[in-house]
Structure 1
Amino acid sequence: MSQHPGNTLFVAARLQRGWHSQSDVADAYECHAAALGEPATITVRQVRRWESPTPGWPNKIARKVLGAMFGGVPLEDLGFVPLRPAQQHLHATPPAAGTGPGRAFREDSVRRRTFLGAALFDASALDHLAAAVTSARRYADQHLVGHLRAALDEAARTDGRTGPRQALPAALGILGAIDEIARDASPAIRRDLMAVGARAAEFTAWLHRDAGAPPHTVTFFHDRAIEWATLNDDGAMHAYVLLRKAQAAERGDAARMRDLAHAAVHGPWTLPPRARAEALQQEARAMALTGTAPDLVACTLDQARDALAQASPAEPATCTGPLCAGYNTDRLMAQSAICHREAGQPERAVSLLRQHLSGGAFAPRDRAFFTAHLAGALAAAGEPDEAAATGLSALQLAAAPHFGQALGELRRTVTVLRPYARRAAVRELRQALTVLPG
């Protein structure tokens, strides 16, 4: 039985680099060692030891190779803890009274401030988590599940305030904790953990996408969310992840985008009305990208509005609450404007975006994203100076938190504005994007 969570920092770091299995880590280690001129290899067993609750301190060669693999990240930030000389003889000694797994877990959590976004938890919460992980069958209960939900919602708020890169460590920590605890939890608690896990995996996919991670990393977390939703017999969540996969699809792969959105709407499940409305809107966008006639695109958008009209009143959006609880008319119409832009109707897109951005209440991330699309629609409509000025407004919202999708749309706008590259406003926008830190 698991004693307490393993080295979640190491697991999170290798997942961020696309090494989805311990075998991937061993292969990457061999490649980096060869590049450094070190004839060193490791086994999956060694990787498993590094990901255990007691990873030890790597030897000199391993420290060198790990430094290269993880871009110079300090080994302490990967969960390794060097032993002080006075502690060497205690390395194999069982812990004394009062220094067992629970206390070690708590002290390690407070020290690193990363596992489960530990700043969210008071001392009693950390004690409860430690007890739950030490003996999951006995202690894993709704109290723990509630704390995991709260941690996930706080990670989502962090993303909204400061961007995906600040929220990723907590999200990955939550996933690692659920994966570890669920192995030994009772069936009822395991179901609840998988429900939170599906939400956390989908959110982690979103964060990676917005942070600019490669598509296979995003897909890995989407697939994990679908796995947990399927095991939990949660058809609505399964469909919602298909919608998110459709939203993550590249514009150049519009056929796949349409297939995913269509499956989300028409599969063997029932989406809540607000989620159904967003999925229909996404299908309409894919239809526009694949050259479907504008009147058919408009018909699908009408279906989205009809679905939204059937919904109960909107609620504050959270990561663990009802699916798409905050999806409202302003957001649907802003997304509809994007559909019209994709269908070659930029003037209509400009009109809708101006109307709903001026009157709607959008979170900073959404306002940055839709303002960036407004800049692109203005550029496509032949209004380069206004497009550039609008783009700079979007950049002010997106730059500090590094909202990746908004920045991506601004770069797309600059491409559309190439024929006007000599104009002062266009040049200012291009230069501002060029000097933006990666």
Structure 2
Amino acid sequence: MAGRVVSRLAQLRRTAGYTQETFVTAFIQEAARLGIDASVSVRQVRRWERETPPPLPHPSQQIVLEAIFGVPLAEMGFEVPPHRVTIAAPVGDSGNVKRRTFVADAGLLAGAALVGARSGPRVGTADVARLRAELDGLYRTDHTAGSVPAMVQASAIEDEITGALGTASYTSRVGRELQTMLAELHGHRAWYGYDGGRIDQGRAACMEALAAAQLVDDALLQVSVLETLVLLAIKAERTWEAASAVENAYRLATRAGAGPTVRLVISLREANVATHAGDLSAARRALSRAVSHQGRTDADTEVPHWARFVGPFEVDYATADLYVRAEQPKHAVPFLRAAVRGIGGDLARNSASYRVKLACVLLAAGEVDEACGEMRGVLDACGGISSPRLLDKIREFERAAARTDSADARDCSERIRETVQGGAI
């Protein structure tokens, strides 16, 4: 038995990457952009695509349909009465005709809607799935091997995505996915700038990521960029910018209906800003909010990939930072020990960073032997991790140990110099 003939409207819809359900959403959005009071239901779309001839859309629906597909209503398979036929003529020559006009032949417009002007290869959902897997793999590389090798991988993925966006043929849905991934890649580059001490480059990447995330209207993706911008702004001594990023992150999280995990990340960044500014009361309030959010994360059903790193250990680490800022290293030590115990083994880079922080605070608290023991453990475990920020922290410990009147501290400093010169970090 011969298969059912696919209507012209159904062909246009599928080529544009819509299901009947998503087309209804796109129709409503386009009507809002045009300022037209028009709507459509899935049931009506089905009638348009199934019946021969299909029921004629209302005049307001006609305007929206022609705006979405870029072809006259008659080219969509409808029988259009003469007084509603859209003409193809220059707008300036339309005279008394107030209906929409097209500046090119209808057949050319139909071809453009179906094929696009690009001459490159076709990019489909399978390509998007592969690129998504590679993009998600950047988290693993960064956490286990450091930001330097992750940056190399990110550059290769970015080249492929920008090449596809610029030259390939794809549906609107695939195009949006590619743009979303590009925004995420800019966010990764922002983090690599922070980890590598290239603060200006990191901030520039943040601006690119924010613009790209706004273009795809992804509020949670914007939050992920803003939480990195907070860290970069603090390093750049732009506390006002960091505070503004926190406020905007809270606003976007509310708009997106974000759960407690995302809000936990934001409250921790708020604590970072307040601690850096020396506003310890505000830092305590932010940490109290973080504890409250942490207690509700178990019920969080949808957590963005970028927020999955957070946990109780981050709260303990931020609390220790508060005590360090208050020049009370002995009070910071138990929180850092808890953070080191609590961080997952798959977060090798962060685990090493936490241990270096603990060693530095132990040294400041006068626990020299324990501090050096902790640092030796880091040096034994962090081979293969390439992270400039981690290296800077290790060197900071070395400088502090060199000022300590202790043979153990001097031996540990020598061990650090040998390790660094040998390129093990």
TM-score range, shorter-chain basis?
A: 0.5 to 0.7
Question: Residues 145 and 193 of structure 1 are in contact (CA less than 8 Å); yes or no, is this contact kept in structure 2?
Answer: yes
Distance 1:314 1:326 in 2: 14
Tell me the distance in 1 between the aligned counterparts of 2:410 and 2:302. Answer: 40
Shift in Å at residue 224 of structure 1? 2.0
Give a deviation string over 1:107-151, Cα, whole Å, max 9, x none: xxxxxxxxxxxxxxxxxxxxxxxxxx9635xx2222111110111
Spell out the pairing of 1:200-349 with structure 2 (5 A cutoff): 200-210=185-195, 212=196, 214-251=198-235, 253=237, 255-256=239-240, 258-270=242-254, 271-292=258-279, 294-312=280-298, 321-349=304-332
Q: Give the partner amino acid of 1:372.
A: V
Aligned to 1:192: 177
Q: Would you say the 8 A contact 2:359–2:375 is kept in 1?
A: yes
Alpha-carbon RMSD across the aligned residues, in angstroms, is 2.8
Kindly state the Cα deviation for residue 377 of structure 1 after the two structures are TM-superposed.
Answer: 1.4
Structure 1 position 274, deviation (Å)? 1.5
Q: In the alignment, is residue 142 of structure 1 matched against residue 125 of structure 2?
A: yes
Q: 1:341 to 1:265 in 2, by over 3 A?
A: farther
Change (3 A) 1:167 1:261: same
For residues 18-66 of structure 1, what are the alpha-carbon distances to aligned partners after superposition, in whole Å with 9 as ceiling and x for unaligned?
Answer: xxxxxxxxxxxxxxxxxxxxxxxxxxxxxxxxxxxxxxxxxxxxxxxxx
SS in 1 for 2:217: coil
The answer to whether the Cα contact below 8 Å between 1:379 and 1:387 also exists between their aligned partners in 2 is yes
Contact 2:151/2:192 (<8 A) preserved: yes
Q: Tell me which residue corresponds to 2:143.
A: 160
State the TM-score, normalizing by the size of structure 2.
0.63
Q: Deviations over 1:50-102 (max 9, x none)?
A: xxxxxxxxxxxxxxxxxxxxxxxxxxxxxxxxxxxxxxxxxxxxxxxxxxxxx
CA separation of 1:204 and 1:400: change in aligned 2, threshold 3 A: same
Query: Which amino acid counterpart does residue 300 of structure 1 have in structure 2?
Result: A
Structure 1 residues 354-388: Cα deviation after superposition (integer angstroms, max 9, x where no partner): 13423543421121011111112112222233222
2:267 touches 2:287 (CA, 8 Å); kept in 1?
A: yes
Q: Which runs of 4+ in 1 moved over 6 A?
A: 314-317
Distance in 2 (CA, whole Å) between partners of 1:236 and 1:303 is 19
Equivalents in 2 of 1:194, 1:213: separation in Å?
27
- For 1:181 and 1:260, locate their aligned partners in 2 and report how far apart those are by CA, in whole Å: 35
Aligned partner of residue 267 in structure 1, secondary structure: helix
Deviation at 1:259, TM superposition (A): 1.6
Alpha-carbon distance between aligned partners in 2 of 1:337 and 1:213, rounded to the nearest angstrom: 23
TM-score between the two structures when normalised by the length of structure 1: 0.61
Q: Which has the larger radius of gyration?
A: 2
Whether 1:375 and 2:375 are equivalent positions in the alignment is no
Measure the CA separation in 1 of the matches of 2:226 and 2:328: 27
Tell me how far apart the structure 2 counterparts of residues 252 and 227 of structure 1 sit (CA, whole Å): 21
> Displacement of 1:312 after TM fit?
4.2
Q: Would the aligned equivalents of 1:276 and 1:307 in 2 still touch at CA under 8 Å? A: yes
1:386 aligns to 2:361 (yes or no): no
What is the alpha-carbon distance in structure 1 between the residues aligned to residue 283 and residue 307 of structure 2? 22
Deviations 1:162-191 (A, max 9, x none): 222222222111111111212354322111
Q: Which runs of 5+ in 1 are unaligned?
A: 1-132
Partner of 2:415: 432
Amino acid corresponding to residue 200 of structure 2 in structure 1: H
Q: For structure 2, list consecutive stretches of 5 or more residues without a partner in the other structure.
A: 1-117
Shift of 1:193: 0.9
How far apart, CA to CA, are the structure 2 residues paired with 1:195 and 1:288? 33
Instruction: Give, as a single letter, the amino acid of the residue that structure 2 aligns with 1:253.
Output: E
Q: Please, which moves more after superposition, 365-374 or 408-417?
A: 408-417
Aligned residue type for 1:284: A
Quick one: structure 1 residues 264 and 240, their matched pair in 2 at CA, closer, same or farther if it must change by over 3 Å? farther
Task: Check conservation: 2:271, 2:318, Cα contact below 8 A.
Answer: no
Matched-pair contact (CA < 8 Å) for 1:208–1:217 = yes
